Amino acid sequence: MADQPKLLNVEQQDDLLLIQLTRPQKRNAINDTLLLSLEAVFSTIPDGVKCVVLYAEGQHFSAGLDLSELQERDVIEGLHHSRMWHRVLDRIQFGTVPVVAVLKGACVGGGLEIAAACHIRVAEQTTFYALPEGQRGIFVGGGASVRLPKLIGMARMADMMFTGRVISADEGIWMGLSQYLVLEEQGLKKGIELAKKIALNAPMTNYALMHVLPRIADSTQSEGLLLESLMATIAQSSPEAKQRLRDFLEGRAKKVGE
Using CB under 6 A, pick the residue from 61, 66, 115, 152 that binds ligand 1HE. Answer: 66
Using CB under 6 A, pick the residue from 16, 64, 88, 123 that binds ligand 1HE. Answer: 64
Using CB under 6 A, pick the residue from 53, 133, 180, 194 that binds ligand 1HE. Answer: 133
Least separation in angstroms between CB 34 and ligand 1HE: 11
Alpha helix stretches (DSSP H) within 73-166: 75-93, 110-117, 133-136, 144-152, 154-163
Using CB under 6 A, pick the residue from 4, 44, 68, 220 that binds ligand 1HE. Answer: 68
**By C-beta, is 124 or 133 nearer to ligand 1HE?**
133
Catalytic amino acids? 113, 133
Torsion, Cα 45 144 127 18, to 10 degrees, reads 0
By CB under 6 A, residue 110 contacts ligand 1HE:
yes
CA distance 201 to 175: 27
Q: How many residues bind ligand 1HE (CB under 6 A)?
A: 22
Q: Which stretch binds ligand 1HE (CB under 6 A): 23-31, 147-155, 207-215, 217-225?
A: 23-31
Check if the beta carbon of residue 86 is closer than 8 Å to that of residue 142.
yes
By CB under 6 A, residue 61 contacts ligand 1HE:
no
Question: Which residues are CB-neighbours of 52 under 8 A, at least 6 positions away?
Answer: 16, 17, 18, 19, 42, 45, 97, 98, 99, 100, 195
By CB under 6 A, residue 106 contacts ligand 1HE:
yes
Angle at CA of residue 196, ends 193 and 199, nearest 5°: 155
Burial (0-12, 13-18, 19+ Cβ within 10 Å), 174:
exposed
- The residue ranges that bind ligand 1HE (CB under 6 A) are 26-27, 29, 60, 63-68, 85, 106, 108-110, 113, 132-133, 136, 140-142
